[in-house]
Structure 1
Amino acid sequence: MGQSKNTGVSSVNALDAYKEMWEIRIFEEAIQTLFDEGKMYGTMHLCIGQEATAVGGAGLLRKDDWMLSTHRNHGHAIAKGTDRRAMFAEMLGKKTGTNGGKGGSMHIADLDVGNLGSNGIVGGNFPIAAGAALSAQMNHTDQVVLCYAGDGATNEGSFHEALNLASIWQLPVIYLIENNQYGMSSAIERMTNVERLSERGKSYGIESVTIDGNDIFEVHQAVGDAVEKARKGGGPTLIEAITYRYKGHSKSDKLLYRSEEECQYWMENHDPILRLEHYLLKEKLAEKPELEALVSVIRKETEEMIQSVFADPDPSVEELWTNVYQEGGKA
């Protein structure tokens, strides 16, 4: 099993991080089941196996800092503070959802906690993040922006345009690239001709690093350093986090492009939750029964959330037209 290096998370926070990573994984296992049972519609993109980049990244931000996510967004949203029950309600089409039940899995947003939302357009959040960072800079606040993206998105023109602007204007933005080895069904080495995606950030004069994205401590350290630098006016950072998604690109993916052995290797040797669990037990910060009880409580809480959401009201027909056009504004 891979070892975690405790370089940026306190022992107390390590247990909190363990709990939050399990909240994310159990949340996603639950929506997978709901989709399989035909109780949830649309599509979804799971981040099971990538929990460390969410908790070690978005979990570091202040409430007034901003975060932008991708279509693989559930972990990021939970780590930034978006309520899990409201997320279940959103995906089940309930009025109590984060977007009134009209956005679904791919468009969860929660402005109250600085979650500027997910984006169904690959690479669509890069320029939005630059714009949010520019507003913080112009308003002379010390807010920072964390923008998540997948490896495939770095081939989009919006990535290069946004990085160029972030660099020349020294914007307080961190671009965190979750390199989970595959852009949809294409291996990253077939789509790019650079050894590390972080090299692309360096070409724009942006401080860039490649890290182990399944090591919560390493993610925490890298993002923490980038946040501190941006908050002090030091400009942008690009972080490439090497990770792996256990599930398919979306719920319809049959995973014909990779072997079961490859996935099993990552699950057995690099799972972010198991690595943190190993650290907690090794350092005697928790006992195995304590951790098992914690996971059991999260599973029970999650099931109770889902059952209660089914009783929530659906949006009315009239609400179909709300939040579509700007009200009170001029054409």
Structure 2
Amino acid sequence: MYINLLGDIYIEMCKEKRKTVLPLTVLSNDIIDNDPISQDVALSLYKDMLLGRCFEDMCAQMYYRGKMFGFVHLYNGQEAVSTGVIQLLNSDDYVCSTYRDHVHALSKGVHPKYVMAELFGKETGCSKGRGGSMHIFSAKHNFLGGFAFIGEGIPVALGASFQSVYKKQILNSNSVLNVTVCFFGDGTTNNGQFFECLNMSVLWKLPIIFVVENNQWAIGMAHHRSTSLPEIHQKAQAFGLPGIEVDGMDVLAIRNVAKKAIARARSGKGPTLIEALTYRFRGHSLADPDELRSKEEKNVWLARDPIKTFKSYMIKNQLVDSNVLNLAELEIKKDVQHSVDFALSSPEPNIDELKKYLFADN
């Protein structure tokens, strides 16, 4: 299998204490048999990834123009992971994110204008301007929020998955189990919450999927330098849940793995750990000069841009006409520009309502 080979190469590099971790340049689509997808599904996947990329590029522009403040962490390069997983969920399923949360929220259905307004600190933002970049939240979309500190979201996601089981087993709900997907980075997997929650999820057979977005770097710490077992998916074995490694630059590979994990969770068979090998194209945050990663490493991963790769795949296999893709790109760029216009014209929060959202309304 391609993924196993990728893992073998990765672990050998770690053993040799290489400073750069490079992926294979072969596309997993060429080796792994993906389930066939329709034109509508292919176009939906492409548009969702492209929306994430265009939105984040616009965020960078607005940040450097002084429209956003604080730390802003962009998702460029990792879009296949968000799209490949979240597009398979139902509207009443849950998603829990990290401080790199904008694109997860977009994939879950939060409108770009409400996310952008939140980044601008406006009253019309999805968190009423009180959360900012690292605390995107939407109760309407069952988006449990971004969390500024690593590992914070995992217990919250565990609680969401527990209530789904509780409703069915204790309250005798006739609805199917709601699935919770919890995203976090490779650095988080060295924290206690990760291990504690893996253990609890198996004990209670919770309908939760742990998605490790292994982008090779925890801020400025290379992954292979910070853990005794670089292959994170193997850590699942200690707790008795499936651990799967997948090419995080291939939306179809992600989608196939996620589809099986979601079906397993919804049928009551318990959790799955997915390690998606991916890469962030920008620095840790927009305040990061990104001088620690080698040019060679960046260029090899950039050559496997998940959006460009999937576009080429669709055209090559005659899934979607290039004119349709061009129109979709124009539409998305207009939507992103509209989100900026909406944010700019939105009111600032009222200083008299500073404490308004500290507690839930009765």
TM-score by length of 1: 0.95
Change (3 A) 1:174 1:9: farther
- Write the letter of the residue equivalent to 1:81: G
Equivalent residue for 1:293, pick from 312, 324, 327:
327
Of 185, 205, 213, the match for 1:170: 205
**Structure 1: runs of 5 or more not aligned:** none
Query: How far apart, CA to CA, are the structure 2 residues paired with 1:116 and 1:122?
Result: 15
Runs of 4+ off more than 4 Å: none
Long gaps (5+) in structure 2: 1-24, 169-175
Following the alignment from structure 2 to structure 1, what is the Cα–Cα distance between the partners of residues 195 and 236? Answer: 9
Aligned mates of 1:48, 1:200 — CA distance in 2: 27
Superposed, 1:226-265 pairs within 5 Å as 226-265=261-300
Q: Is the 8 A contact 1:43 1:251 kept in 2?
A: yes
Q: Contact 2:114–2:339 at 8 Å: present in 1 too?
A: no
Whole-angstrom distance in 1 between the partners of 2:179 and 2:44 = 23
1:66 is aligned to 2:94 = yes
Structure 1 position 319 matched with structure 2 position 346: no
Q: Deviations over 1:115-136 (max 9, x none)?
A: 1111111011111111111111
**1:9 shift after superposition:** 5.8
Aligned with 2:345: secondary structure? coil
The equivalent residue for 1:3 is 27
Q: Distance in 2 between matches of 1:50 and 1:203?
A: 28
1:184 counterpart residue number? 219
Give yes or no for the alignment of 1:40 onto 2:68: yes
Shift of 1:43: 1.2
Secondary structure of 1:239's counterpart equals strand
Choose from 127, 130, 146 the match for 2:155: 127
Indicate the SS of the match to 2:244.
Answer: strand
Residues 35-184 of structure 1 aligned to structure 2 (within 5 Å): 35-140=63-168, 141-184=176-219
What is the match of residue 275 of structure 1? 309
CA distance in structure 2 between the partners assigned to 1:255 and 1:71 by the alignment = 18
**Do the aligned partners of 2:42 and 2:320 also contact (CA within 8 Å) in 1?**
no
1:31 counterpart = 2:55? no
Aligned residues: 327
Instruction: Tell me whether 248-257 or 95-104 shows the greater mean CA deviation.
Output: 248-257
| Separation (CA, whole Å) in 2 of partners of 1:9 and 1:37 | 44
Q: Distance in 2 between matches of 1:63 and 1:317?
A: 34
C-alpha distance 32-57 of structure 1, shift in aligned 2 (>3 A): same
- The question of whether the paired residues in 1 share the 8 Å contact of 2:38 and 2:319 is answered with yes
Q: Are the structure 2 counterparts of residues 86 and 301 from structure 1 closer, same or farther at C-alpha, using a change threshold of 3 Å?
A: same
Task: Give the Cα–Cα distance (whole angstroms) in 2 for the partners of residues 99 and 53 of structure 1.
Answer: 24
> SS of the counterpart of 1:245?
coil
User: 1:55-99 CA deviation, whole Å, 9 max, x = no partner?
Assistant: 011121111111100111111111111111100011111111001
Provide the secondary structure at the position in 1 that maps to 2:151.
Answer: coil
Q: Is the 8 A contact 1:174 1:236 kept in 2?
A: yes
Q: In the TM superposition, what whole-angstrom CA distance separates every residue of 1:230-283 from its partner, at most 9, and x where no partner exists? A: 111000000000000001111111112111221121111x21101111111111
In 2, Cα distance between the equivalents of 1:243 and 1:65? 24
Shift of 1:4: 4.9
* Shift of residue 223, structure 1, vs aligned partner: 0.9
Of 288-297 and 259-268, more deviation after overlay is shown by: 288-297
Aligned-partner Cα distance in 1 for 2:339–2:165: 39
State the distance in 2 between where 1:276 and 1:69 align.
24
Query: For 1:321, what is the secondary structure of its paired residue?
Result: coil
* 1:321 CA drift (Å): 0.8
SS in 2 for 1:53: helix
2:3 aligned partner: none
1:300 & 1:229 partners in 2: Cα distance? 39
Residue in structure 2 matched with residue 205 of structure 1 by the alignment: 240
Identity of aligned residues (%): 35
State how far apart, in whole Å, the 1-side matches of 2:28 and 2:48 are.
Answer: 17
Q: Name the CA distance, whole Å, in 2 between partners of 1:2 and 1:30.
A: 30
Query: Are 2:318 and 1:284 equivalent residues in the alignment?
Result: yes
Paired with 1:71 and 1:172, the residues of 2 have a C-alpha distance of: 23
Write the distance in 1 (CA, Å) between the matches of 2:113 and 2:36: 27
Is the CA contact (8 Å cut-off) linking 1:90 and 1:96 kept in structure 2?
Answer: yes
Q: Distance in 1 between matches of 2:26 and 2:307?
A: 11
Mapped contact 2:80–2:249 kept (Cα < 8 A): yes
